[in-house]
Amino acid sequence: MSFRSDKITPFSGNKSLICGNNILKTDKPLVMGILNLTPDSFYDGGLYTTKDAWIAQTDKMIQEGASIIDIGAISTRPGAAEISEDEELSRLIPALETLTHRYPSIVFSVDTYRSKVVKYSAEAGAGMINDISAGKFDKDLFDSVAATGLPYILMHMQGTPSTMQINPAYENITREVLSFFVQKIATLLKAGIEQIILDPGFGFGKSIEHNYQLLKQLRVFMETGFPVLVGLSRKSMVYKLLGITAEESLPATTALHLQSILNGADILRVHDVREAVQTIKLAETYMTVTE
């Protein structure tokens, strides 16, 4: 499958992202560590709801090699219930302010789909916005992101978190996700958002087969010229296929992370930073060996 379009300007040049006060080079694969402040996330919900817990986990992920920490204060797992904007902010902002002050050289991404949360997150030191909704849930979101000047993670999702896993259907998932990206990239560029990262949205409105089709054809999205993020850590595409639990799925997740890097992923969004960093080192070594 090949892709060509005159509708977008490919991401090129020095392959770096300006993330507030930090510059993030994307010439080599990066690891984004997940920090869920929620009580109900699918794998680690409730583990990091106290200050001591989220500081300790952030310490650990940074020491293990994370370049980005993605903070989420609202669960987006399948069937997740929505919480109020005020509750999201009350969970998020104290942690974000503390962590950005404690680790000024680390990029902190905020996982949100609300324009007001984007605004307050940027003021609290966020360096990136990670939006599962692609702007569908808040008409002011793109304007809010543009005002911050921060990189924006554009994710594909069919449906909403409460409905997305109810019989997801596509004629050709890779072509449809690619078409979605092309259209949204044009909209984002028009809005003034030029630093874009693409996330195919593994597990967000996809069957197990859909997820593996996207993984196998991941390089198609690289043809847009924008960095590609893969977020499949401990998801059901791993553990349900193998008949195990999310807690048992680290080895299998690591296997898919290796394939993701070999297929061109620029960023791995993970629960387990150390193993992901090791995987990238192995993949880079493998890819640089001459035959």
Position 158 scores a pLDDT of 86
The two tokens of residue 284 are 């880079």
Which structural domain range is residue 82 located in? Answer: 28-288
Q: Is residue 61 pLDDT above 90, yes or no?
A: yes
Residue 187 lies in a domain: yes
User: Averaged over 97-102, what is the pLDDT?
Assistant: 96
Residue 9 lies in a domain: no
Residue 1 lies in a domain: no
Q: How many independent structural domains does the chain possess?
A: 1
Q: Residue 184's closest CA among 160, 155, 164, 163? A: 155
Residue 175 lies in a domain: yes
- Say which range, 11-15, 112-116, 269-273, has the weakest mean pLDDT: 11-15
274 is catalytic: no
269 is catalytic: yes
Q: Is residue 249 pLDDT above 90, yes or no?
A: yes
User: Averaged over 98-127, what is the pLDDT?
Assistant: 97
C-alpha to C-alpha distance for 199 and 236, rounded to whole angstroms: 17
Q: What amino acid occupies position 225?
A: G
Does residue 134 contact residue 155 with C-beta atoms inside 8 Å? yes
Predicted TM-score (pTM) of the model is: 0.91
Residue 135 lies in a domain: yes
**pLDDT by residue (tens digit) across 4-41?**
444 444 444 347 999 999 999 988 999 999 999 987 55
Position 15 scores a pLDDT of 75
User: Averaged over 274-279, what is the pLDDT?
Assistant: 98
Position 47 scores a pLDDT of 75
Residue 20 lies in a domain: no
Q: Of 184, 269, 274, 281, which residue is the catalytic one?
A: 269
- Say which range, 83-87, 157-161, 237-241, 256-260, has the weakest mean pLDDT: 157-161
Residue 277 lies in a domain: yes
At residue 159's C-alpha, the angle toward residues 79 and 111, to 5°, is 70
The two tokens of residue 8 are 């977008």
User: Averaged over 222-249, what is the pLDDT?
Assistant: 95
State the pLDDT confidence band at 77, using cuts at 50, 70 and 90.
low
Residue 120 lies in a domain: yes
Q: Residue 198's closest CA among 176, 171, 177? A: 177
For the stretch 56-80, what's the b/e string if a residue is b when 16 or more beta carbons lie within 10 angstroms of its beta carbon? ebbeebbebbbbbbbbbbbbbbbeb
- Say which range, 140-144, 258-262, 281-285, 287-291, has the weakest mean pLDDT: 287-291
- Say which range, 67-76, 121-130, 268-277, has the weakest mean pLDDT: 67-76
Helices (H), the chain: 51-63, 85-102, 115-123, 141-148, 173-191, 208-216, 219-222, 236-242, 250-262, 273-288
What CATH number should be reported for the domain holding residue 253? Answer: 3.20.20.20
Position 151 scores a pLDDT of 98
Q: Of 91, 114, 184, 235, which residue is the catalytic one?
A: 235
Position 38 scores a pLDDT of 80
Q: Is residue 74 pLDDT above 90, yes or no?
A: no
Position 78 scores a pLDDT of 63
Helix-, strand-, coil-residue percentages of the chain, each rounded to 5: 40, 15, 45
